[in-house]
Amino acid sequence: MTARARGKSFERTVADLFGGRRQPPTGAAGPDVVCPGLVVECKRVDEAGIRGAWIRQAREHGRRSGLPWALVKAEKGSPVSVTVLDTTLAVELLRNAGLLDTASKRGADGA
């Protein structure tokens, strides 16, 4: 399987997990996956870290679409992926799921 085919397969897997659909290739112009209420940028690469450029790309897709954004990243050959979300959205989701105390009002900076 080629690198491009592996990338498409990863995008389809992410789309299935999030209940969305894989977008046709648009490069930097659009997200890889569109879900109800969320746009997702997917990265399957050799490196271990998260690049700031990937987060900026996901944020820009969210801004353009008017939807929250997510970045899903997996290392090649690994069955594990990680998802990066805006902290405010992550806290809201965790509170709505009953996993965080709703009384806490501290910001992401601890203030």
In a domain, 95, yes or no: no
- 52: CATH: 3.40.1350.10
Structure confidence at residue 106 (pLDDT):
62
In a domain, 10, yes or no: yes
Residue 85 has pLDDT above 90, yes or no: yes
In a domain, 92, yes or no: no
Number of domains in the chain: 1
SS3 readout for 21-48: EECCCCHHHCCCEEECCEEEEEEEECCC
Residue 109 has pLDDT above 90, yes or no: no
Average pLDDT, the chain: 88
Structure confidence at residue 93 (pLDDT):
92
Structure confidence at residue 105 (pLDDT):
63
User: Which domain covers residue 44, as residue numbers?
Assistant: 3-86
